[in-house]
Structure 1
Amino acid sequence: MTLNIRYLFNCGEGTQRLCTQHKVKITKLKNVFLTRIHWECMGGLPGMLLTLADVGLTNIKIHGGDNLTHALTATRNFLLRTSMSVTTREFPVEGSSFQDENMTIKQYHSGRKLSRRVQLKRKFRFQQNENTTKLYLITRRRYCLSCLIRLDMDQSMFEMQLLRLQYEDAVTETHALLESNESSNYLQKPDNLVNERRELYSRRLPKSKPNPISIAYICKGPDYKGKFNPKSAKALGLKPGPLYAQLADGQSVTAPDGTIVHPHQVLGPSRPGAITIIVDVPSVNYIQSLINSQEFGPYQSGDENFRPRVIIHMVGNGVLEDERYQSWMREFGDETEHLITGETCNAQRIMFNSAALSQLKLSKIDSNHFRVPFYSNRPQKSLSDISNLPAKAREAEPKLIYQTEPVAQLDTSQIVSDFGPNQALLTDDALWKEYLKTVEIKNEIQSTKLDLAQFPGNDVIVTTLGTGSALSSKYRNVSGTIITIPSCGSIILDAGEGTLG
């Protein structure tokens, strides 16, 4: 996050609702980076795109690995926002990077260990396609939206056409495809957009295969200019004023005597921008590929210019306990902060406190129909129980802020408080007592009523998993309903974002 732009890494289910609950602004979001094309990493992306379009965002870039475009176009039957331009950028080549005025982000692939048979099969398939056409090779380097190793040109163009129709003026970083006259004609804006959508949306997407690749992102801020030295400027014949400001801004100026003064003559040494690394290691099968990567060597060399300020680890079960991974973490030095996030090493906290508090109050009326969501304020495994971790390793927490510039520091002032029945109700103690008294009277009256007569279907259970809201909000969620019919099974009506969790 910078003053003028937001960067989002992964977008799991409930992300937009979490931002609403905790007042995290997303209107300045311009780029989304996905570590894996997997539901746990991008399950909240369709809903996020809908919300961003509705709040007036006109364009956004989504970066990820193979099948990113395929995953987005798969939502075409329910996700349509022609007011927003979406650019997808896939990373089929290691070492590629993204850069804007605030950040340079490099990406590196790691993957799980494959069997020898699978490795040979993939090697043969790549060799078959390696020398196909010049257009194929250029497209591969320019991050075609589909992996052309597996898909032919017509299939790739079909996916791009769908994405353009799904989001008005959606583009991809695949200039080579546009060099072909045939391809350019294919991408011409149709006279009848509605009919084209209807025709293309009815077509089945080309087959794709899951890609187990995980992407690590190395983010570097801009270099900071050296401090301006007024004594040096004065010695060169300059007087305080606009010339000082121009030099401080990196511009050469002319002194009164005609001498040209360059910035390096009056500025101290520049300082490299802060480095942040984000790694996603979903299982121990990814560890060997990660530690074998030479791309992390400079950041583990001990050179202060390359030392990461903070590394965010998204780990699966057993990864932190693995000696190989522990050794890899320690190689970054004692001063690097490590923020750990994972299913077992993070507490299963209540994230939507407002809705949970409302549910808690309603549970006093009927605890069967209004159940308090499951939560645990303690992790299954504490980091203190895992030996050989770096000294500055700690659990990532909701709204924990790590400030990289101008001074590196952790800000814990905004961490979300743990949810608990007693803590949640302390603020209106008198009102709460009155509420409980009213509930008690209601329950006494209810207990005196006769049971309803038996009737066909009275054992059918209807459970609302959402509230039927058009948009997820602080108190309400989108539609999701499960109907349980004894001896027959269950039926799910709608399965909006957050239905499972």
Structure 2
Amino acid sequence: MKCWVQFISTPTADTPGTTLLLHFDSKRYLIGNVAEGTQRAAVQRKLGLIKVGDIFLSGPMKWANSGGLMGMILTLADSVTASLEGKDGWMKGQRKSEGNASIAALAKAKMWLNIHGGENLTHTIATARRFIFRKGRPLHTNEFRAKDPLPEDWEPTYKDDLIKVWAMVIEPDVRSPRKRSHDEFTGEVPSRTINGKRESEDDMEDRYHQMRKAVVSDMFDSDWRLDALVKMKLSEVKKPAAVFRRGEGGKIEKFTGPTSDKDPSFEDIEVLVRNPWPGAMIEELPVAKPVINSVCYIIKNFPQRGKFDPKAAIELGVKPGANFSKLTKGGSVTTEAGKVVTPDMVMAKGKEGSGFAVVELPDESYIAPLLARGEWSADKVMNGVKVVIWILAPGLVDDPKLKNFMEDRSDLIHIVSSKDCCANSLALESAASAAIRLHLFDSERFPTPRFSNEIAPTKDNAQRPYVKARSGLTLQLEPKIELQEDTIIPYLDTADVVNVFKKEHQEVVDLANAAREKISSPEYQNELEKNQADIPSKDAEIITLGTGSSVPSKYRNVSATLLRVPSYGNYLFDAGENTLGQLKRVFGDETPAVLRDLKAIWISHLHADHHLGTASVIKAWADETKKHEETKDNKLIMASQRDMLKWLVEYAQVEDFGHDRIVGIPMGNTRFATHDFSPEDTEKYGLTSIAACWVQHCFGALAVAFNFPNGFKVAYSGDCRPSEDFVQIGKGATLLIHEATFDDELQGDAYAKKHSTTSEALEVGRQMNARRILLTHFSQRYQKIPVMDSHGGKDQVAIVAFDYMRCKIEDFVKLEAFKPALMKLYELKDDEKPEKYKPALA
């Protein structure tokens, strides 16, 4: 039986965590961090994850370690559902030979996803109940706690058919940095009364844990149906929501009559609405508290049986055939002479299962407690363990205690994954290559991603007692332990990307040179200055950090757009997964300054591809502003629908990510909403008002307009169908940022999925009389340039967004001049066009 462990990622801006994939033919395991960017790295590596059945999260339960978990859960659930749906046609053709009962059982089989980790794992997942719901894959959480008793006789903490796991929960040897409560100082344990009985703190926490697990169960294993409608009074409907009523003949039709927000004298009739999924109906979770313990693992295969010796079996009187098979499967047989032959009589000596340890140390205070663990000297645990994979915080790689341990245990292979010894290389080669190609014909608007393949030398230039982790590095476990470095993913050869581009795309280069010559002419510059003289803040810059839809892909990350307005500040519209990493790729060493000047974040709706990077951006902002006297008291505007703000409140119970410095502005309680800033707040945040309106996409979806003191105005659609209300609040916008998920020929898809086509987005801009239009949020199926005509006046300009693009308002016209080169670059050849989806049956 072959099995191996491979590094999916090491710490980079693209992949801030360390993720391992344990591979068996029948099953896969994710181990370590499932940080933001993990899923995209798996796509880049073409790793099929449909067989992942268990995730073992290492370290403390913090967003830095688990920020990609929500997106990963959605992808794993959807992959199983798609696979089963793909089997439907195959199964119909197999019914006659296989029988209806067995086929039906296969289709309805529940493929459980088990997620293991430290305390607050269940709470973290439960906080997402308002925006994550799937029926195809039930989910089970397993939390390891420091108070759990050590296993008797070193039995594993967890095991399945393939592996045994010993979880080590490491408590730091210093006090937690969080504020201590009065009860901690006095040593008294608070008690509560339940049904007349006093409840201890442990009993209360166990009860809370079961409540959280019930919520998670409802998120992934309920009988909720989308088409189920429930009756209620019109006044009881929670807005915004689709409302129906029975018309003539009992036919269900959409309700279009007056409601309380439009007509106070409305008739409170009985209507039909879709019932929210069960998890979303839980208003609040039991209160959690931060836990900083770090979870580490020792993982081993089961003992491997020796090979069957047919010669020995024959000599003992066993006839070849069925009896050979029985012996190899562990059964005993009786020969014709009446002699009982057992497997150990005909099998070579077996061996202990091979194994490895995964150790995560967030800081120095965890080292001594880790090294004092009894597992390191327990033969039952360590026999067969040959490798330790260290996930180390910056500054720990040269710690004397760790170095001594590695040198003393030279019988083990030590592999270290840390920013200290892993380069900030380009982990997403496809996206980086695309950015480099764009840079070659317009270096002003398309910067190359900031990266480094260099690793700082050790302090004393001494030989390292460990192997440096690299993406692709593989540890074979069976049939024998072997470190395979030939599988390492080489660093992207950026010079080769340049050479290939110049060699294969000469026509694109010529078109780009023509555009560059055109925009450099004095006549062009004079005309441009004249046409744009009345535009306020035309030096404002738009940085498109993520321009794709639904899930991260090879070429486009999910939604995030940064606006930098000189004299006012920086503003972030949506923050999909790994928005922070995209910022670092664009700005490099300038990122701290960009974060310090961040004034507001707007989240358009609670779909995962629009907000799962929010917590890490807020934490990075809070950490950076705390370092400087002039910014340490700054606040950050967080404007969104109320459920987004509730999610941040609940997650803040898990870790301090700067939530106490957020100024929340809830919007969306009514069809139109406006928040006006006082003169004092306008001075702080650079805004005079934020106007929002409901749009057609999902519950709570909002479009918005940001208004500035000098008349500069930015309208942002989020995800939606074209909206007259949005046109109204965005009237006269300097810049419209509008989604264009589908090409015009996919109008039906846009209508069904409540998105917009290219032409529809441009029409919104025409009605809004927006001076500049930026199209973004494209389908992830392939890279493209939509066919478009702005349909506006002579000075209305529309451009298409790309990841990492930086474009000032005054430069939209210049970028439009490169449109012929862009169209040529992204021409789809026949063999590049997407095929119809063919689900895997594996």
Q: TM-score range by the shorter chain?
A: 0.7 to 0.9
Q: From 485, 510, 519, give the equivalent of 1:446.
A: 519
Q: Does 1:151 align with 2:205?
A: yes
Shift of residue 56 of structure 1? 2.0
Partner residue, 2:576: 496
Q: Is the 8 A contact 2:437 2:498 kept in 1?
A: no
Counterpart among 377, 382, 386 of residue 309 in structure 1: 386
Q: Structure 2 matches for 1:348-359, cutoff 5 A?
A: 348-359=424-435
**Is residue 232 from structure 1 mapped to residue 312 from structure 2 by the alignment?**
yes
Indicate how the Cα distance of structure 1 residues 166 and 306 shifts in structure 2: closer, same or farther if over 3 A, else same.
same
Distance 1:379 1:483, change over 3 A: same
CA positional deviation for 1:438: 3.0
CA deviation after TM superposition for structure 1 residue 149, in Å = 6.2
2:500 is the alignment partner of 1:477: no
Segment drifting more, 276-285 vs 374-383: 374-383
Contact 2:420–2:456, Cα closer than 8 Å, also in 1: yes
Pairing 1:184-333 to 2, within 5 Å after superposition = 194=275, 197=278, 200-201=281-282, 203-298=283-378, 306-333=383-410
Distance apart, 1:384 and its partner CA = 8.9
Kept after mapping to 2: 8 A contact 1:383/1:394 = no
Amino acid at match of 2:114: K
- In 1, Cα distance between equivalents of 2:307 and 2:276: 61
Matches within 5 A, 1:44-443: 44-56=68-80, 58-92=111-145, 93=148, 94-95=150-151, 97-115=157-175, 148=202, 151=205, 153=207, 155-169=208-222, 194=275, 197=278, 200-201=281-282, 203-298=283-378, 306-334=383-411, 336-381=412-457, 385-387=461-463, 389-390=464-465, 393-427=466-500, 429-443=502-516
Mean CA deviation greater in 229-238 or 256-265: 229-238
Residues 228 and 268 in structure 1, CA contact (< 8 A), matched pair in contact too: yes
Give per-residue Cα distances to partners, 1:8-36, cap 9 Å, x unaligned: 01211111111111111101000011112
CA contact (8 A) 1:315 1:340 kept: yes
In the other structure, the counterpart of 2:822 is: none
Equivalent pair of 1:346/1:380 in contact (CA under 8 Å): no
Cα RMSD after superposing both structures: 3.2
What is the one-letter code of the residue matched to 1:62? I
CA deviation after TM superposition for structure 1 residue 152, in Å: 6.6
For 2:504 and 2:185, the matched residues in 1 are separated by 69
- Does the residue aligned with 2:325 lie in a helix, a strand or coil? helix
- Give me the whole-angstrom Cα distance separating, in 2, the residues matched to 1:98 and 1:320: 30
Once the 2 structures are TM-superposed, how far is the Cα of residue 373 of structure 1 from its aligned partner?
Answer: 1.2
1:110-150 CA distance string (max 9 Å, x none): 12222499799769869778xx99x999xx9xxxxxx9466
1:162/1:200 contact within 8 Å kept: no
Q: Where does structure 1 lack aligned partners over 5 or more consecutive residues?
A: 141-146, 171-191
Cα drift, residue 197 of structure 1: 3.4
Give the superposition deviation at 1:462: 1.9
C-alpha contact 1:321 1:386 (8 A) present in aligned 2:
no
**Relative to structure 1, is the Cα distance of residues 126 and 159 closer, same or farther in structure 2, using a 3 angstrom cutoff?**
farther
Structure-2 residue corresponding to 1:179: none
Change (3 A) 1:122 1:44: same
Distance 1:398 1:234, change over 3 A: same
CA shift, 1:227, in A, is 2.8
The structure with more strand, counted as a fraction of residues: 2
Query: C-alpha separation between the residues in 2 aligned to 1:47 and 1:483?
Result: 26
Which residue does the alignment assign to 1:7? 29
In structure 2, which of residues 22, 33, 49 is the aligned counterpart of residue 26 of structure 1? 49
Q: Secondary structure in 2 aligned to 1:385? A: coil
Task: State the distance in 1 between where 2:460 and 2:52 align.
Answer: 36
Change (3 A) 1:247 1:358: same
- Code of the residue aligned with 1:17 in structure 2: it is R
TM-score (norm 1): 0.83
Secondary structure of 1:54's aligned partner? helix
Letter in 2 for 1:31: D
How far the C-alpha of 1:262 sits from its partner, in A, is 1.1
Distance 2:460 2:28 in 1: 33
Instruction: Find the aligned partners of 2:452 and 2:161 in 1 and give their Cα distance.
Output: 41
Cα distance in 1 for residues equivalent to 2:566 and 2:578: 25
SS at match of 2:567: coil
SS in 2 for 1:493: strand
Q: Is the 8 A contact 1:60 1:87 kept in 2?
A: yes
CA distance in 2, matches of 1:163, 1:349: 37
1:148–1:156 Cα contact (<8 Å) kept: no
**How far apart are the structure 2 equivalents of 1:384 and 1:433?**
49
Match of residue 174 from structure 1: none
SS of residue matched to 1:56: helix
Residues 1:115 and 1:497: Cα distance change in structure 2 (over 3 Å): closer
Count of residue pairs the alignment pairs up: 460
Letter in 2 for 1:194: N
Name structure 2 gaps, 5 residues minimum. Answer: 1-22, 82-110, 224-272, 582-842
Question: After superposition, what is the alpha-carbon deviation per residue over 1:74-123, rounded to whole angstroms, capped at 9, x for unaligned?
Answer: 12222222332111111122546221111111101112222499799769
Aligned partner of 1:197: which letter? P
For residue 422 of structure 2, what is the amino acid of its counterpart?
Answer: N
Offset, 1:287 = 0.4
Instruction: State how far apart, in whole Å, the 2-side matches of 1:239 and 1:407 are.
Output: 32
